[in-house]
Amino acid sequence: MEDFKDLRVWAKAHELTLAVYQKTKCFPKEEIYGLTSQLRRASVSVGANIAEGCGRRSDAEMRRFVQIARGSANEVEYHLLLARDLDLLNADEHKDLEAKILEIQRMLASLAQSLKVTVLASS
C-alpha cells in the first residue's frame, strides 16, 4: 500500500479531525472528559487506522484497519448527532461535519471493497 498521506480518504479524515478539534473548542468545560474527548478520539482514530493499515504493507492487513476506521467513522457520526441534540453544535455546523463524515464513510467502504477484491484475487 502507498504512503497514507497520498490517500484522499486519509486527507479527508485529517481535515475532519481538524474541524472537529476546532468545533469542540467551544464545547462546555464539563464535557472535556465526556463528549469532547470521545468525539476527538473517534475522529483521530479514523485517520490513524488508515495510516496504521498502510504501514502493515499487506492488502489483507490494510483492509482490516480500514474496517476499524469505518467503525470509528460511525462512532463520529453518532457523536455529532448527540452534540447537535445537546445543542453543542448548531444545525449548520452539524450538517457540515456530517457531510464530511458521510463522504469519508463512502470512501472507506469503496476502499474496503477494492481491497477485498485484491485479497481474494491473490488467494
> What pLDDT does 21 receive?
98
* CA 119 and chain centroid, separation: 23
Cβ atoms < 10 Å from Cβ of 73: 25
Q: Report the distance separating Cα 38 and Cα 29, nearest Å.
A: 14
Q: What is the pLDDT of residues 45-63, one digit of tens each?
A: 999 999 999 998 789 999 9
What percentage of the chain reaches a pLDDT higher than 90? 89
Q: Find the mean pLDDT for residues 28-38.
A: 96
The pLDDT mean for the chain works out to 94
More confident residue, 122 or 13: 13
Res 1 pLDDT > 80: no
Res 119 pLDDT > 60: no
Are the C-beta atoms of 14 and 99 separated by less than 8 Å? Answer: no
